[in-house]
Structure 1
Amino acid sequence: MAKTKTRDRMNNEINAGSMADIAFLLLIFFLVTTTIAEDKGILVKLPPWSDEEPDITKLKERNVFSVLVNAQNDLLVRDEPMKIGRLREAAKEFIRNPQRLENMSEAPNKAIISLKNDRGTEYDTYLAVYNELKGAYDELWETEAQKRYGTPYSEDMPFAQRKAIKTEIPMVLSEAEPTNFGEEDN
């Protein structure tokens, strides 16, 4: 009878059969428990898709607040040069038209802000202009909420009150297709 050595008898092997199962369970665990950060951008509600031709209606020029941004990041607001710092107040004045001027909007619910930029416009300038225009509406909504209800305009405000304010002062911000780099005509 041949003697077996202890070394031959003690040949230990690692059972790797369940390693794949453990790795799969860890993968599922990390996928389920990990939160994926979503990018926050400009929240713009796009119109629904339609195969029908759009209804082309002639807008009254007095109701359109046109903002053009060229490739050099200069603003042209209603055919007048303007600095970004003045844009918010000018937009609020145009929308509200407290003095009932003939060259400003007839009413806040008829005011349209048209934003057009050049493809060469810097993104920071575009965002600054957009923020000023959105900020004008935010301030108008806040003022109206304080005047009507004596409370700040916020998500905590009842839906009916927010809807009433946005019905009177709807945010109508139309963005035109950008022009080619350096092309500054309408």
Structure 2
Amino acid sequence: MGKKTNFSKVNAGSMADIAFLILIFFLVTTTIHSDSGIDRLLPKLQDESEIGLVQEKNILRVIINEEGDLLVDGQITALDELKETVKGFLDNGGLTKHDPEYCGYCLGDRSIISSDNPSRAIVVLSYDRKAYYSSYIAVQDKLMAAYNELRNREAQRLYGEDYTVLETKFVQPGTSDDSKILIKAKIESIRALYPLKLSEIETK
């Protein structure tokens, strides 16, 4: 008979305990940072009856039909013209100087048949269910561009830098917490001048 070879056994019973202790160590020592952001409400789907409570002159109706055509207040409009149309509506400032809600920073035409104040101005986006998604996204981009350009103008006037730059600084990892507090206050003050009042209604 051959000689028996004795193999030394490795006791692996404690390996699970060691792995568990390492896991506990990392769970206890790892710091998980929770980002503090500035909320942006996405447009909510509304019923036509809710919009009906607002004066018609304070509503800009943007419609995308089944073919992807764009209608603004009933007029066929090219996509490239949409941004300036929305800016003119938001920035109109139709109230007189004697009105408490007069918009002193508005640079629009101040037409009495258009929006009274940016805080009252509502853009209503209606779209056909069969409309192309690409058309919907393109219109959304133009609407947001109109808001951002007006906000950039006021941010430059008040703080010497664009609103979009402030938003970028706020989310950068290297921005200190103290700086974020100041930047957030600036962002919210600009948003108050041109609040995003964008509603969506699906056409039936």
Equivalent AA in structure 2 for residue 62 of structure 1: K
In 2, the alpha carbon distance for the partners of 1:55 and 1:75 equals 23
Q: Tell me the C-alpha RMSD between the 2 structures.
A: 3.7
Any idea what the Cα deviations from partners look like across 1:96-143, whole Å, max 9, x if unmatched? 011111232111111100011111111111111011101110111001
Question: Secondary structure of the residue that 1:135 maps to in structure 2?
Answer: helix
Tell me what 2:132 maps to: 122
Equivalent AA in structure 2 for residue 170 of structure 1: P
- The TM-score with structure 1 as length reference comes to 0.67
* Residue 82 (1) aligns with residue 107 (2): no
Tell me what 1:102 maps to: 112
Correspondence 1:148-167 to 2 at 5 A: 148-153=158-163, 154-155=166-167, 156=169, 158-167=183-192
In 1, the alpha carbon distance for the partners of 2:142 and 2:200 equals 14
In 1, the alpha carbon distance for the partners of 2:43 and 2:199 equals 11
Tell me what 2:88 maps to: 93
Question: Secondary structure of the residue that 1:158 maps to in structure 2?
Answer: helix
Structure 1 pair 93/47, CA: closer, same or farther in 2 (3 Å)? closer
Question: Secondary structure of the residue that 1:109 maps to in structure 2?
Answer: coil
In 1, the alpha carbon distance for the partners of 2:57 and 2:162 equals 31
In 2, the alpha carbon distance for the partners of 1:56 and 1:95 equals 17
* Residue 70 (1) aligns with residue 95 (2): no
Displacement, 1:91? 0.3
Displacement, 1:6? 6.7
Displacement, 1:148? 2.0
Give unmatched runs, 5+ long, in structure 1. 11-16, 21-42, 49-53
In 2, the alpha carbon distance for the partners of 1:115 and 1:47 equals 9
Correspondence 1:20-39 to 2 at 5 A: none
Structure 1 pair 7/71, CA: closer, same or farther in 2 (3 Å)? farther
Displacement, 1:160? 2.4
Number of matched pairs:
161
Give unmatched runs, 5+ long, in structure 2. 7-12, 17-38, 93-107, 170-181
Displacement, 1:7? 10
Tell me what 2:197 maps to: 172
In 2, the alpha carbon distance for the partners of 1:159 and 1:75 equals 35
In 2, the alpha carbon distance for the partners of 1:69 and 1:47 equals 16
